[in-house]
Amino acid sequence: MKRATLYSSSDRSRQPRRPQTPAPAPQADKGSITESSSPQPPPPASRWRRFVGRYGRPLLVATGVLFALGLMAGYQSWKPAPHVFTQEDIDAAVLHTLETKTLPSPMAKAYDAIRESVVRVRAMGPDDEKGGEEVERGVGSGVVIVDKGIILTNLHVVTSAKRVSVVFSNGLESEATVIGVQPENDLAVLQAKTLPDDLPAATLRSTRDLLPGDEVIAVGFPFGIGPSVTSGVISGLKREYRSPEGKRLLTNLIQFDAAANPGSSGGPLVTADGEVVGIVTAILNPTEQHVFIGIGFAVPIENAAAAVGLSPF
């Protein structure tokens, strides 16, 4: 029996295959919408420019603040520690000042405190020898105790005056009128009509704590010369004085040894603190020369204040 021919599965007898070329992708028609691929990230320089454009001003402010803080931290670390002064340092500084500086005396400071409140009091009247021409018949002193131009002086300074004028420390002269008297204390109260700008009133002080030996100055116009300053101490309290003519007796007076002479009457007696404790009213002299021999008297300021209705104590 004849066998059927068997064919081998080998590829030898097969024709080699041609490589298939992939078909070109179909092109989209113009004007048609194509699917976009995923967005490409922008380059780094572009991202930096956008960041600076958005946050540039806050970054500049923050940089300035950090720079200032750095400067302060550097200064604090560089600054030396403050010196701690000891008592020895203070004592040395005070000693150096005392050795190199000339300090004003207490009396000079007292005068500086009172000088703008002291006035010259002129008692004006006619001179018969000059045909009745008005002249200065007497001179005394006074002190401003109220800044509205109220002045204390002695009654005997203005008693015989036809007209009274006062001269202030800046040279301004004003007519003044007598608005009150206290004969038992030889006091008169004047009101000036014209005042300088910013007229200061003297500071008054009670005599309750005044003691013999306390330093004082007397300020006035002795013999019309002034303002003049003399210094001394309180010599006694609650003294009495009778005038040479025996016509008046003054009591409860302050005795002092700062020089006073005719013309000093009505001026202030002032403590080393520049406060008025009395009004100079008399000097004691057993001769008829009426010059100072070491004993003067002042009316306590309490009496003087009462003459104008003041009660500061």
Residue 232: which domain range? 112-307
pLDDT at residue 276 in the model: 96
Q: What is the CATH number of the domain that holds 163?
A: 2.40.10.120
Does 16 reside within a domain? no
Residue 12: the pLDDT is: 47
Residue 20: inside a domain? no
Task: Name the residue with tokens 């409140």.
Answer: 117
User: Which H or E run includes 144?
Assistant: strand 133-146
Distance of alpha carbon 115 from alpha carbon 80, whole angstroms: 49
Does residue 32 lie in a domain region?
Answer: no
Whole-number pLDDT of residue 223: 93
pLDDT tens digits, one per residue of 2-16: 444 444 444 544 455
pLDDT at 237 over 50: yes
Rounded Cα distance between 179 and 153, Å, is 12
Please indicate whether residue 273 is annotated as part of the active site: no
Is residue 273 in a domain?
Answer: yes
The helix (H) or strand (E) run that includes residue 253 is strand 249-256
The percentage of the chain sitting over the pLDDT mark of 70, rounded to a whole number, equals 77
pLDDT reported for residue 211: 96
Is 164 within 8 Å of 177 (Cβ atoms)? yes
- Residue 160 annotated among the catalytic residues of the structure: no
Is 265 one of the catalytic residues?
yes
Among candidate residues 78, 64, 312, the one with its CA nearest the CA of residue 205: 312
In a domain, 75, yes or no: no
* Residues 139-185: tens digit of each pLDDT: 999 999 999 999 999 999 999 899 999 999 999 999 999 999 998 89
pLDDT digits 0-9 by tens, 94-123:
888 777 877 788 999 999 999 999 999 999
Residue in 174, 228, 235, 265 annotated catalytic: 265
pLDDT of residue 2: 47
pLDDT average, residue stretch 185-200? 94
- Active-site entry in 117, 156, 165, 174: 156
More confident of the two residues 26 and 278: 278
Confidence of residue 236 (pLDDT cuts 50, 70, 90): very high
Considering the domain boundaries, does residue 74 fall inside one? no
Task: Check residues 65 and 244 and name the one with the higher pLDDT.
Answer: 65
The full DSSP string for 25-92 is PPPPPTT---PPPPPPPPPHHHHHHHHHHHHHHHHHHHHHHHHHHHHHHHHHHHSPPPP---HHHHHH
Residue 76 is assigned to a structural domain of this protein: no
Q: Residue 267: CB partners within 8 Å, gap ≥ 6? A: 118, 140, 141, 142, 143, 218, 219, 220, 221, 260, 279, 280
How many folded domains does the chain comprise?
1
From the candidates 186, 231, 257, 264, which is the catalytic residue? 186
**From 67-71, 198-202, 211-215, 230-234, the region with the lowest mean pLDDT:** 67-71
| Nearby residues of 135 by Cβ (< 8 Å), 6 or more positions away | 124, 125, 126, 127
pLDDT above 60: residue 34: no
- Residues 179-192 have a mean pLDDT of 92
Q: Is residue 195 part of a domain?
A: yes
